[in-house]
Amino acid sequence: MARVIGFELSSQDPEKAAEFYSAVFGWGIAEPHWDYWAVTTGENEKHGINGGIGKGPNDYPHGTRIQLEVDSIDEAISKAKHHGAMIVRDKMEFDEFYLAYLVDPVGIGFGLIQKK
């Protein structure tokens, strides 16, 4: 079962977005890494998820995606494609995880994450 582990806000002006969410909601914003600002939305003792604000790419300049953690990103991508999903960004490798972006059959974008 895949679990929602975070969110990603895409923006063409991520610095301004980070300032807004920090000022309005008190979110903690980390220094950027790969044009991505990690966001802490509250104390770990409370229910909720953290996420990030990223510089939106040309194919997704602004919007919100949930991030789903899966055991096997390759298997999840294969199943998603079989059931009508479109791959926006195929499996990418980062230091501690793999990441892919897809769009479901009704147009909702989401990310898949597999920790190494």
Residues 74 and 107 in one domain: yes
Q: Is residue 95 part of a domain?
A: yes
Say what the pLDDT of residue 70 is: 96
Say what the pLDDT of residue 113 is: 97
What are the pLDDT digits (tens) for 48-88?
A: 999 999 998 887 888 999 999 999 999 999 999 999 999 99
| Domain termination site, one of 35, 59, 83 | 59
What are the pLDDT digits (tens) for 101-111?
A: 999 999 989 99
Say what the pLDDT of residue 54 is: 94
DSSP string, the chain: --EEEEEEEEESSHHHHHHHHHHHH--EEPPPSSSEEEEE-S-TTSS---EEEEE--TTS-SEEEEEEE-S-HHHHHHHHHHTT-EEEEEEEE-SSEEEEEEE-TTS-EEEEEEE-
Residues 55 and 74 in one domain: no
Q: For residue 91, what are the domain limits?
A: 70-116
Residues 16 and 43 in one domain: yes
Q: What is the CATH number of the domain that holds 88?
A: 3.10.180.10
Say what the pLDDT of residue 115 is: 96
pLDDT above 70 covers what percent of the chain?
A: 100
Residues 116 and 97 in one domain: yes
Residues 2 and 55 in one domain: yes
